[in-house]
Structure 1
Amino acid sequence: MAFKKDIPVIVAAIDFGTAYSGIAFQFKHEFEKDPTKISAPQAWNGGKEHLISYKTPTCLLLDKDGKIHSFGYQAEDKYADLCIEGKHTDWYFFRRFKMRLHEREGLTKSSELEDASKKKMKTIDVFSKSIECLTKVLMEMLDRQGVLVSSTEIHWVLTVPAIWNEPSKQFMREAAIMAGIKSNQLDIALEPEAAALYCQYLPLDRFVDKEDEVRFGALPPGSTYMVVDLGGGTADMTVHQKTKGNQLKEVVKASGGPWGGTAVEDKFLGTLEDIIGKGAMEVFRKQYTYDYFDLLREFESVKRKISMKTEDKLTIKKPVALDNVSEGNSFKALLENSKYSQDILVHLDKLRISPDFVRKLFQHVTDKIIKHIEVIFSSCETVTLILLVGGMSESLFVQDIIRSRFHGKNGIKVITPKEAGLSVLKGAVIFGRSPEVIETRVLRYTYGVSTTPEFDPEEHPEEKKIEIDGKIRCKDVFNAFIRVNTPVEMGHSVTECYSTIVPFQTAIILQVFSSSDPEPKFTTDPGCLKVGELAVFIPNPSEEERAVIVVFNFGYTELQVLAFEARTMIPFITSLKMNE
């Protein structure tokens, strides 16, 4: 694979996850010798020692003035201290907030996010400060190692789910820029693609199931496989075909849903809430924050240990605080009177949980994942392999359940790299050097602009009628220029021409929209989402109608735009302005 000519010596990646986040980096000479030689340091302090992780919880702690105090385990521990001392209400603590971008609808630059105490802060500030923390950790670590490097010598890669739309990716880019990363030093990588890139280089002994003798990187051209990326917040699935030169062609658009590991955790917390009551659970979370975080860390260990073959009960430490918040009743007494009395037992200071019950906590998530994989198979019968990646894929139970359903059926194989939770992060570093390896992508949306053509009573509804400069026009018309499910190679361009509608118009403001519908009529139709807007300025505006030519470039991880004023044909690069 060729190097990007403008890539500096170091490529660094940030995997900004729902539950955990991490950083990785690689020097150019390391990539040349062994592309998998990527440093993903354990640069985080705090947390349980038995939780072996190269990542840290996605938690941000700010002081009362909104200044950064800490990120990750340190943020959790400091916030717990503040709660014990009753000083936490003046601080800002944000945890697991990435899913706000998955929800997407209505997200703008001025959108706000609630912290643990219901105080609000601009969402983009929370994201940018978190990214700033991650970049700072890397720079400090390089400095300790005696590596003399400036910020301008690092090319950054930020990972996002492939199922995110343009506004969400645009939001992350803007947050990174606010964190101090220059736009021309930043790539956005799609998580399943990054994982697939990394796995292409792995030898057979770097996969969990060596006995299957499937080396992912040795798949011949024409092979079609499905990437199932199971993270903390989302399940992200896409289908690739391998082409000549080890390039990848997306053949089925990315899809998925909120079926990540945190959904399993939420089920467990819901169980405790059923036992002690909603009010008591809220007190436990707010007043006994250390115990709350410890319980979640203990349960994370259980999630990783459970498998389909597990027969013995799983043990976690029972927080003493569960007795303190139960209004005079012991947790044991409440448990024994609940519907969970056969599933969870209290033994001294331990909770003993039946493996069947833990498997049930997973089931509402794994059922949706399996059903969605089956839907993808129904539309693409050429898939012969499932590549299972992402943090949740490290769960033995998840591996077991997906293998039991698909492995060996119709010749399908399911494989998992040993570093499933780091495959996206490390693959993002490789992507930073070779983004052109993704040859073709499939559009997830129909794209178009909002236009105001002359009103046609036979085609346009009466409520859309407006008057502009004495002419009757129709507002909110979705003028599509490319449609959902269209395969696009990198740099695939669509050229459109737009005209002024009033004399001496100084600029044409184009509002760009997306829709999952292949034939949307109006930008106000259900499912339509404003991607952003761009301004094309008219040099020397005149009384006569003027035209601009806009070239939309697809096939990259982000939509790129180039514009010309038709009279002068002088090009200028423009970009979509994020919704305010």
Structure 2
Amino acid sequence: MAFKKDTPVIVAAIDFGTAYSGIAFQFKHEFEKDPTKISAPQTWNGGKQNLISYKTPTCLLLDNNEESSSFGYEAEDKYADLSMDEKHTDWYFFRRFKMRLHEREGLTKSSKLEDASGKKMKAIVVFSKSIECLMKVLMEMLDRQGVPVKPTEIHWVLTVPAIWDDPSKQFMREAAVMAGIKSDQLDIALEPEAAALYCQYLPLDRFVDKEDEVRFGALPPGSTYMVVDLGGGTADMTVHQKTKGNQLKEVAKASGGPWGGTAVENEFLGTLEDIIGKDAMEVFRKQYIYDYFDLLREFETVKRKISMKTEDKLTIKKPVALDNVCEGNSFKEMLEKSKYSPDIVVHLDKLRLSPDFVRKLFKHVTDKIVKHMEVILSSCENVTVILLVGGMSESVFVQDIIRSRFHGKNGVKVITPEEAGLSVLKGAVIFGRSPDVIETRILRYTYGISVTPEFDPEEHPEEKKIEIAGNFHCRDVFSAFIRVNTPVEIGHSVTECVSTLTPFQPAILLQVFSSSDTEPKFTTDPGCLKIGELAVFIPNPSAEQRPVIVVFKFGYTELQVLAFEARTMIPFVTSLKMNE
């Protein structure tokens, strides 16, 4: 396995999740002795429920000057305290905002996010402040350990779902740079790849299903396995094949959907909304914030306890506020009138949930996960192992469901590491020292640029006709240079030749697009998305036409672009600017 020659003193990773986020780090000497010896803070504490966790909720609290106040459980508790004193409206509170980047349209530099009370702030500020808070926690940990570290001695890794598009990855990079990380000291790691990399090093006794005798790292070259990364927001799946030298080749492009742990939580909240009504639920969420957070933490313990074998009812504390918002009726009275009364019972200050009811909440999500896994496996031959990682895969019920459907079928074994929820985070640390572990990836999109060829009335629609320098051209034509589902090795290059059009032109601007279609015709077609604007700066502009070679490099976790003067091959400065 190839590693960086100039490996940094410390590699630090930030797993910025939809529901939970975490940080981890490792010194160079620790990696050389034991790659799995990776440090992560154990101080995140989940309030009254005492949910000791290696991760903390993805929640950010900012004051009225948009300055960082707190992150995670601390942010939740402080915002709840402020709400009881009716001071919370002067603060900004953002919770679980990462899913906005899952949308194909994504976020731009000017996009705004709405906080819990409806106030808006630039999304990139919210993301960068969150990253800044996590960086601060790491630096404080190192300081407590008496480790003097210079910023130049830390290489950072930021995790993103493999199913994200290029603008979303670029957005996260720009947010990290705003937070104080230098771009050349930052890698973007794809979550399922990072998890698989970590599991390569784990011995058999650090997997949940030890009796299956599958040591993931000992799979021979040619073995094909599926990574199912079940996080808070998304289910992220891909298929890899091991090659010689323990490199990995992607044989099925990353795919998935919004089927993470928060989807189960949303099913539960939807049940409460059915019982008390949408308006009452909104009042509960906005005016009884402390009770709302407590309820979510209580339900988190239920999610961790349920299994296929659970027979006893599960108990959580009933917030008093549920009675306050029911307008003349008690929550118990409204529950008893609903279709949920056999499954949810009020006993004093407790809610008793039947195990079948909780399993149904999960199955709304797990059915989609299983169906998607079946589609992938039907198109991939010789898959022998399914590796379950991510926080939601720590659920015994989720493990039970997936094992019952796939384990032992056609020789497939389902395995789960003991630290499934930390496998992405810890794998990202290892990725920081070996970013070239994936030697081949499958393109998720067709890539191209917007061009304006001469107008052809037989091929081009009249509404796209424009006049340039006395000649008619067609605007918005998608000129594809590489297509979806193409396998590309790291550094795979595609060359485009462009030229200045006017005398003394200082730069060439190219609009770069991606499309989910194989043969997109126009950049305005459905499924097309502008990645950004590529600027190639022309040194010493002259009156003559300047031909330029633009090289797009694929196979990395991010698209890379270079440009050269065609005659001399002197490199030009380029900048791929994200959408405003």
TM-score normalised by length of structure 2:
0.98
Q: Check conservation: 2:490, 2:556, Cα contact below 8 A.
A: yes
CA distance 1:562–1:210, shift in 2 (3 Å):
same
Q: How far apart, CA to CA, are the structure 2 residues paired with 1:69 and 1:414?
A: 42
Using the TM superposition, give the Cα deviation of residue 60 of structure 1 relative to its aligned residue in structure 2, in angstroms. Answer: 0.2
Is 1:215 aligned to 2:211, yes or no? Answer: no
Q: Counterparts in 2 of 1:216-365, with a 5 A limit?
A: 216-365=216-365
Q: Which 10-residue stretch deviates more, 567-576 or 444-453?
A: 567-576
Q: What amino acid sits opposite 1:571 in the alignment?
A: P
Listed one character per residue, the Cα deviations across residues 491-550 of structure 1 (whole Å, up to 9, x for unaligned) are 111111012334443321011000010111110000000001111123344444331100
Listed one character per residue, the Cα deviations across residues 233-256 of structure 1 (whole Å, up to 9, x for unaligned) are 000000000011111100100000
Listed one character per residue, the Cα deviations across residues 461-493 of structure 1 (whole Å, up to 9, x for unaligned) are 111110112121110111111111111111111
CA distance 1:49–1:351, shift in 2 (3 Å):
closer
Q: Check conservation: 1:500, 1:545, Cα contact below 8 A.
A: yes
Specify the alignment match of 2:128 in structure 1: 128
- Say which SS state the counterpart of residue 226 (structure 1) adopts: strand
Q: How far apart, CA to CA, are the structure 2 residues paired with 1:43 and 1:477?
A: 54
Q: How far apart, CA to CA, are the structure 1 residues paired with 2:116 and 2:75?
A: 13
Specify the alignment match of 1:95 in structure 2: 95
Q: Counterparts in 2 of 1:87-236, with a 5 A limit?
A: 87-105=87-105, 107-236=107-236
Q: How far apart, CA to CA, are the structure 2 residues paired with 1:49 and 1:28?
A: 37
Q: What amino acid sits opposite 1:283 in the alignment?
A: V
Q: How far apart, CA to CA, are the structure 1 residues paired with 2:72 and 2:104?
A: 24
Q: How far apart, CA to CA, are the structure 2 residues paired with 1:81 and 1:400?
A: 39
Number of corresponding residues: 580
Q: How far apart, CA to CA, are the structure 2 residues paired with 1:320 and 1:27?
A: 48
Q: What amino acid sits opposite 1:155 in the alignment?
A: H
Q: Check conservation: 1:8, 1:153, Cα contact below 8 A.
A: yes
Q: How far apart, CA to CA, are the structure 2 residues paired with 1:391 and 1:257?
A: 16
Q: What amino acid sits opposite 2:579 in the alignment?
A: N
Q: How far apart, CA to CA, are the structure 1 residues paired with 2:549 and 2:148?
A: 46
Listed one character per residue, the Cα deviations across residues 12-61 of structure 1 (whole Å, up to 9, x for unaligned) are 00000000000000000110011000011113344345524200000000
Q: How far apart, CA to CA, are the structure 2 residues paired with 1:539 and 1:14?
A: 38
TM-score normalised by length of structure 1:
0.98
Using the TM superposition, give the Cα deviation of residue 455 of structure 1 relative to its aligned residue in structure 2, in angstroms. Answer: 1.0
Q: How far apart, CA to CA, are the structure 2 residues paired with 1:576 and 1:300?
A: 41
Specify the alignment match of 1:34 in structure 2: 34
Structure 1 gaps, min length 5: none
Q: How far apart, CA to CA, are the structure 2 residues paired with 1:3 and 1:232?
A: 30
Q: Check conservation: 1:441, 1:555, Cα contact below 8 A.
A: yes
Listed one character per residue, the Cα deviations across residues 177-210 of structure 1 (whole Å, up to 9, x for unaligned) are 0000000100000000000000000011100100
Q: What amino acid sits opposite 1:429 in the alignment?
A: V
Q: How far apart, CA to CA, are the structure 1 residues paired with 2:151 and 2:542?
A: 46
Q: How far apart, CA to CA, are the structure 1 residues paired with 2:141 and 2:98?
A: 25
Q: What amino acid sits opposite 2:35 in the alignment?
A: P
Q: What amino acid sits opposite 1:277 in the alignment?
A: G
Specify the alignment match of 1:86 in structure 2: 86
Q: Check conservation: 1:313, 1:355, Cα contact below 8 A.
A: yes
Using the TM superposition, give the Cα deviation of residue 277 of structure 1 relative to its aligned residue in structure 2, in angstroms. Answer: 1.3
Q: How far apart, CA to CA, are the structure 2 residues paired with 1:537 and 1:382?
A: 49
- Say which SS state the counterpart of residue 420 (structure 2) adopts: coil
Is 1:370 aligned to 2:335, yes or no? Answer: no
Q: What amino acid sits opposite 1:222 in the alignment?
A: G
Specify the alignment match of 2:565 in structure 1: 565
Q: Check conservation: 1:561, 1:573, Cα contact below 8 A.
A: no
Q: How far apart, CA to CA, are the structure 2 residues paired with 1:361 and 1:536?
A: 52
Q: How far apart, CA to CA, are the structure 2 residues paired with 1:406 and 1:349?
A: 41
- Say which SS state the counterpart of residue 432 (structure 2) adopts: helix
- Say which SS state the counterpart of residue 485 (structure 1) adopts: coil
Using the TM superposition, give the Cα deviation of residue 437 of structure 1 relative to its aligned residue in structure 2, in angstroms. Answer: 1.1
Q: What amino acid sits opposite 1:296 in the alignment?
A: L
Q: What amino acid sits opposite 2:200 in the alignment?
A: Q
Is 1:460 aligned to 2:460, yes or no? Answer: yes
Using the TM superposition, give the Cα deviation of residue 152 of structure 1 relative to its aligned residue in structure 2, in angstroms. Answer: 1.6
